Structure 1
Amino acid sequence: MEDWFPLFCGAALGLVLWRLLVVYAFTGKPRAPGSRAFKTLVVLGSGGHTAEMLNVVEMLRPERYSPRIYLAAASDNMSLPRARAAEEKSSSAATLVGARHYLQIYRSREVGQSYLTSVVTTLMAIAHALWVVFRIRPDVVLCNGPGTCLPVCVAAFLLKVLGLKWATLVYVESIARVQKLSLTGLILYRLHAMDLFYVQWPQLKERFPRSLYVGRLM
């Protein structure tokens, strides 16, 4: 038994490393859209983040990006009602396609929280996000910079590595970021975790060549 345990651990580690290489090889190469609908997880942040994200969601075709699941921090009491109101308004002129769900998750870092203590809260948020994302198993994850999206993207990336679900991860940097990326954006960019990474200013595209610039989205 003791002789087999190191071999088992080595084989498991090798499998994970192989999967990690596969994921990195295909990250940045989203799959062809096809004709089916995509279960879309939309990560909201407080204040301007939510306003910007709802503007992005408004441009999505409801029959293609549905059902939609909105996710916000547990301490955010405004974003989900705004998302619900936006969905109800958009569906007033057309039939609502697919279900809409509204969930909350632990926040990785509160405004003003020290970076030292945020390590612990981020680990807790990742564990919670992994459980939520595992249940949802989205086809697309859409976010734009709030701290809440970091554990969600990490969880979705881990599902890819484990071979449980392959989701397209899309990051849209806030229009307020003119000269440099947000902390969340910088981390996700450095990790090479996102399949599509959009910026809204040409100077950011010059500084971060793997990003995509298609003009102002807001």
Structure 2
Amino acid sequence: MNQKKTIPTLIVLGSGGHTTEMFRLLSGTDMNVYKPRYYTIASTDKMSATKMNEFEQNTLKDMNVSFINRSRHVGQSYFSSIFTTLLAFFTVIPLVYRIKPKLILVNGPGTCIPIVIASLLLSIFFLIDRPKIVFVESICRVESLSLTGKILQYLPVHILVQWPQLSKLYPKTQYIGRLV
């Protein structure tokens, strides 16, 4: 019998709308291909953990979850977020090394920045194979990229946008239409 190839996938969940959009996106995928699924959630984000459990209720054997430090708290200054992002970065390096994802799927929370950078650095040093990194910009970003999108456009990341005017403003993005 021919068995389907699976893709170890790291999914970064963020609070509120980011998590809702991520699960809308995932609901249109073949979950038998994207497994095992490794979710990362900020340690203070209880709502995303609840939504993940609801979404994965029938496939718990194919998924894992890790709680990580938040890069930036709501209302935190950009200056002080440099330090919390560095802390998050150093705590996710062993996580990314252990998981060795082939695909990293992110959609906006700042928590994804340390994960993306850690995966790229680990691949530069040949400690993991370089994963495909896909960033899906939020549907609510109509006129400009989010801060996360603006940062990721300088890295080897596939940036997908849901509004055509964004792909005209930001040439490194790809317009894919409305996903969520």
Category of TM-score, reference length = shorter chain: over 0.9
Mapped partners of 2:167, 2:138: distance in 1: 13
2:78 aligned partner, one-letter code: Y
Shift of 1:173: 0.3
- Counterpart for residue 212 of structure 1: 174
Q: Are 1:159 and 2:128 matched, yes or no?
A: no
Shift of 1:116: 1.3
- Counterpart for residue 30 of structure 1: none
2:86 aligned partner, one-letter code: L
Q: How does 1:54-65 map to 2 (within 5 A)?
A: 54-65=23-34
- Between the aligned residues of both structures, percent identity stands at 43
SS of equivalent to 1:78: helix
Q: How does 1:54-133 map to 2 (within 5 A)?
A: 54-88=23-57, 91=58, 96=59, 99-133=62-96
- Counterpart for residue 6 of structure 1: none
Q: Are 1:149 and 2:112 matched, yes or no?
A: yes
Per-residue CA deviations over 1:4-49 (Å, capped at 9, x if unaligned) read xxxxxxxxxxxxxxxxxxxxxxxxxxxxxxx521000110000000
- Counterpart for residue 159 of structure 2: 197
* TM-score, structure 1 as length reference: 0.78
1:65 aligned partner, one-letter code: Y
Name structure 1 gaps, 5 residues minimum: 1-34
- Counterpart for residue 41 of structure 1: 10
- Counterpart for residue 136 of structure 2: 172
Per-residue CA deviations over 1:49-91 (Å, capped at 9, x if unaligned) read 0000011111221121111111111111110120111111xx3
Higher helix share: 1
Q: Is the 8 A contact 1:68 1:98 kept in 2?
A: no
Q: For the pair shown, which has the larger CA radius of gyration, 1 or 2?
A: 1
Aligned length: 176
* TM-score, structure 2 as length reference: 0.93
Mapped partners of 2:79, 2:60: distance in 1: 44
- Which stretches of structure 1, 4 residues or longer, exceed 4 Å deviation after superposition? none
Per-residue CA deviations over 1:148-204 (Å, capped at 9, x if unaligned) read 111111111112111122211010000010000000110011x2231x210000000
1:215 aligned partner, one-letter code: G
What is the RMSD computed on CA atoms of the aligned residues?
1.3
Per-residue CA deviations over 1:113-160 (Å, capped at 9, x if unaligned) read 111111111110100111211111111100001011111111111121
